[in-house]
Amino acid sequence: MTIQGKMTEKEFKLEPDCELRFEVEGKKETVDLKLLSGKAEVFGTELAPDKPYTFFSGAKAAVYTWHGCTLKLTGNTEGTYIAKETPMVMYLNTHACLERLRKHADEGLNRGEDTRGPVTMIVGPGDVGKSTLCRILLNYAVRMGRRPIFVDLDVGQGSIAIPGTIGAILVERAASVGEGFSQEAPLVYNFGHLVPLANLTFYNILVSRMAATVQDKMVGNRKAASGVIINTCGWVKDEGYKSLTHVAQAFEVDVIIVLDQERLYNELVRDIPFIKIVFLPKSGGVVERTPPMRISARDDRIREYYYGLHTKYHPHSFEVKMSHLTIYKIGAPALPDSCMPADMKVDDHMTKLVPVEPGVKLKHHMLAVSLATEPKDLLTSNVAGFICVLDVDDENKMVKVLSPQPKPLPKTILILTEIQFMDSN
Ligand code: ATP
């Protein structure tokens, strides 16, 4: 090990089928990774030789090699070790099975049949590496020349857009090592809560809507052979389990990959016998996140939405007259049974549009900018983006917002979300 100034430099020699795992410690730390010899990949993205890849504070990464390599890390890392046991061979075999299904779809499309590649859903409890496995499988597909669709239904983290949303992107390039997949033209639906249970009726409506849109995009499209990879929430019990079966049904899923939990695997085999269900172990490298770590990861995600990873974007903050804002909230508090009109169901409350008067209670809340022009379309319209309420001046009836776009705000309807963000930039 060499110390340059205050910077630590260390080289690692990896045998075939091993991975180097590390975390970036400290608030403002960065760590540079370089491939000195051989071949290696980070969650399925191949590394170029001698190129520095920067990892930022909080990053938890693994550099895997199929044939052996030498790596250099520069900077302060935590919990750094070489693991000899990884599930990567099993993950690669799973990719090979999906690729066979894609070839089948190709043959069908060549014969003029209306077919599509595998729709694969990844399920499992929290912190088992679901998002990471999605990334690995998507990267392997792209490296074979495929263009899969990635759907993220995990409202807790929201890797597309911000937490509280579900989203889809067409993956045309392997993920960047430090920044993940490119997010050009994402399709985003606003849910507005961090857990599906907060409004399961609405969550299921959005899942069905997303499934219909993704299916429409695939019809008659050559890219359809590449299929879809769906990431789900780590909520797998009771209502959460039901919600997973709803996802499987709505997307007409072909393959469900269950990570880590045999009980969930057995329940799914019992309840959905006509879908291929595969059990895969989780990687020993997956890092468990404490509740404060999850909160901070969500904040980082919203900060990244506005400012980009290395503060490469410059969002706009400006004042808007309260009278120019049309805001709704989705879902009304449930009435006690005795007060419910006879013809009204509980579900009606969950999808009810409630007009919101702008006021101090909006401070720090994220508002979704809907693409709906009429309130009746609010529930199932996708969103253009998000603004954050920085301040409310009740006296002068003005609201100060943070927006990715310069003023004026488009003349659209805004949806109040439960997601909050304190802008410290
Ligand atoms: P959630 O409960 O939020 O749904 P998840 O099951 O999707 O979590 P991931 O987000 O994929 O889990 O992984 C959790 C963390 O572990 C991430 O920060 C990821 O970078 C890290 N991680 C995953 N695999 C490895 C590995 N093999 N070595 C080191 N870190 C890893």
pLDDT exceeds cutoff 50 at 51: yes
Of residues 2, 5, 7, 63, the one with CA closest to residue 30: 7
pLDDT exceeds cutoff 60 at 5: no
User: Mean pLDDT of all residues in the chain?
Assistant: 91
pLDDT exceeds cutoff 70 at 342: no
Q: How far apart are CA 235 and CA 108, in angstroms?
A: 36
Structural tokens at position 361 = 């209670």
Question: Is 62's C-beta closer than 6 angstroms to any atom of ligand 1?
Answer: yes
pLDDT, mean of residues 317-339 = 84
Taking the centre of ligand 1 as the mean of its atom positions, its distance from the CA of residue 64, in whole angstroms, is: 15
pLDDT for position 344: 58
Tell me: is residue 26 an annotated ligand-binding position: no
Structural tokens at position 49 = 């030789």
Q: Determine the 3-state secondary structure of 329 from DSSP.
A: strand
Taking the centre of ligand 1 as the mean of its atom positions, its distance from the CA of residue 62, in whole angstroms, is: 10
Asked if 276 and 118 count as a contact pair (C-beta separation under 8 A), the reply is: no
pLDDT for position 2: 42
End-to-end CA distance of the chain, in Å? 36
pLDDT exceeds cutoff 80 at 232: yes
pLDDT, tens only, 125-165: 999 999 999 999 999 999 999 999 999 999 998 889 999 99
Q: From residue 107, how far is each of 111, 113, 133, 204, 255 by CA, in Å? A: 6, 9, 27, 34, 19
pLDDT, mean of residues 399-405 = 95
ipTM: 0.98
Question: Is 127's C-beta closer than 6 angstroms to any atom of ligand 1?
Answer: yes
Of residues 87, 85, 46, the one with CA closest to residue 63: 46
pLDDT for position 337: 61
Taking the centre of ligand 1 as the mean of its atom positions, its distance from the CA of residue 131, in whole angstroms, is: 7
pLDDT for position 335: 60
pLDDT exceeds cutoff 90 at 317: yes
DSSP letter at 16 equals T
Is the bond into 408 cis (omega within 30 degrees of 0)?
yes
Question: Is 128's C-beta closer than 6 angstroms to any atom of ligand 1?
Answer: yes
Contacts of 273 (CB under 8 A, 6+ apart): none
Taking the centre of ligand 1 as the mean of its atom positions, its distance from the CA of residue 41, in whole angstroms, is: 16
Structural tokens at position 375 = 């309130």
Q: How far apart are CA 306 and CA 162, in angstroms?
A: 10
CA angle 181, 183, 189 (to 5 degrees): 120
pLDDT, tens only, 251-281: 999 999 999 999 999 999 999 999 999 999 9
pLDDT, tens only, 374-388: 888 999 999 999 999
CA 126 to chain centre: 14
Asked if 128 and 260 count as a contact pair (C-beta separation under 8 A), the reply is: yes
Question: Is 87's C-beta closer than 6 angstroms to any atom of ligand 1?
Answer: no
Structural tokens at position 358 = 């702008």
